[in-house]
Every structure is written in C-alpha cells, then in structure tokens.
Amino acid sequence: MKTFSFITKLYLVLTYCAGGMIFAAHMSQVNLENPLLLLVLCVIASLTLILKVEGSTNRSHYTFNFLVYGFTFAVFGTSEAILVIVVSNLVEWIWNKPPWFIQFVNA
C-alpha cells in the first residue's frame, strides 16, 4: 500500500470506514432464530470463495458466492447477509492470503 497515491489511500480508508460503520450498525440487528442455517450458509459461502472455478486465463475465475449471499438476503435479510459476507471473506482471506487491502474492498 506504500506505492499507492494519496488519493488512492484516502479512497481505501474511506471505503473501509464506511464498510465498518455499516457492519457495526447491522450486527446489532442480527436475528438468530435459525443459527444452524446461518452457520451452514457461512460454510457454503466460504467454500464457494475458496474453491473457485478457473476461467480462460489465470486472472479470471467464477465464484458462486453471490448465490449464497442472495439466498441469505432473501431468507434472513440484510443483517444476516452482511454477516455471511464478512465471515466468508475472512475465511477466504485466511485460506488464500491475498493482500489485506484487496480483501477488505472485496468484502
């Protein structure tokens, strides 16, 4: 991140702060009526991020995590969908070890 311009660093910091505030605001609203389904969705979303389908080049791939995110949003709502997104991206970050600033923007 040292090689980024000031504008790029500012953009990244503002993006991280906005994401953190949205996450914090929604975590107080998480409804754990069906925690087992929520856990299963976190596991499936994590697996879909880790096990990517390779595309035609080494830089292209297809992930199916958006299907899990959409299902979570439709069944539970925004707060639980954000939780599944954050958990799956943390697991993918631990597993694949991409640069942290890229993973934060992806989440």
Quick: pLDDT tens for 26-69: 887 777 888 899 999 999 999 988 887 776 776 666 778 889 99
Cβ proximity of 69 and 45 under 8 Å? yes
Question: pTM (2 decimals)?
Answer: 0.74
Higher local confidence (pLDDT), 5 or 52? 5
Q: Domain coordinates of the chain in residue numbers? A: 6-106
Helices (H), 28-64: 35-50
The 10 Å Cβ neighbour count of residue 21 is: 10
Q: What DSSP letter does each residue of 10-34 carry, written as one string?
A: HHHHHHHHHHHHHHHHHHTT---SS
